[in-house]
Amino acid sequence: MLFFCIFWFFSTIRSYKNAEVEKKKLFQMEPDVKQQKLDDIPDGQTISIIWLDGSDSSDENIANQEQLRTFDPNLKMFKDDNECEKYIESQFGKPNIILIVNGGLGEKLVPRVHTFPQVISIYVFCWNKAFHEKWAKEFPKVLV
């Protein structure tokens, strides 16, 4: 499941970077709020990727983080949700943020940051998708 989410995420980023037409095709299946946020991003504007995971990094996570660095060499990584929130707040008016967060920390952090205009998408990676989809459905920027 994590592989699928990361694959979908990479497809999203590639689409965003390649062409406006591809971006629209990919995001047609997402909520209107996501499409609106993506349409508001001027072509060529940068994206900042933030990774929040309180656990020790697995080999899979390390490999995924390395792939993410091909899209954002300045990938920011956090283990603490409060520290991550402070960083996101400090980025107001700066690059558009894509947040990747594990399920447990996402459940705590997403309600606090989902309305921040600098956050355009939130990807929750987890092993219990059904559980996390229940709370995440309230937040249109979230994909579980």
Which spans in the chain are helix H? 2-18, 20-27, 32-39, 59-71, 81-90, 103-113, 129-136
Angle (deg, nearest 10), helices 2-18 and 20-27: 150
Would residue 73 be called left, alpha or beta, if left means φ above 0 and alpha means ψ between -120 and 50 degrees?
Answer: alpha
Q: Are 132 and 104 in contact (CB under 8 A)?
A: no
Q: Considering the entire predicted model, what is its pTM?
A: 0.71
Q: How far apart, in whole angstroms, are the C-alpha atoms of residue 98 and residue 77?
A: 12
Q: How far apart, in whole angstroms, are the C-alpha atoms of residue 85 and residue 30?
A: 25
User: Average pLDDT, stretch 109-129?
Assistant: 91
> Is the predicted pLDDT of residue 89 greater than 70, yes or no?
yes
Q: Count CB neighbours of 29 within 10 A.
A: 8
Question: Which range, 12-16, 117-121, 129-133, has the best average confidence (pLDDT)?
Answer: 117-121
**Which stretch of 11-15, 22-26, 71-75, 120-124 has the lowest confidence by average pLDDT?**
22-26
Half-sphere exposure of 135 (CA within 13 A, CB side): 15
Domains of the chain: 2-143 (3.40.50)
Q: What is the pLDDT of residue 34?
A: 43
Instruction: Tell me the pLDDT tens digit for each residue of 6-44.
Output: 555 555 555 444 433 333 333 333 444 444 444 555 555
User: Average pLDDT, stretch 131-142?
Assistant: 90
Closest CA to 93 of 119, 71, 58: 119
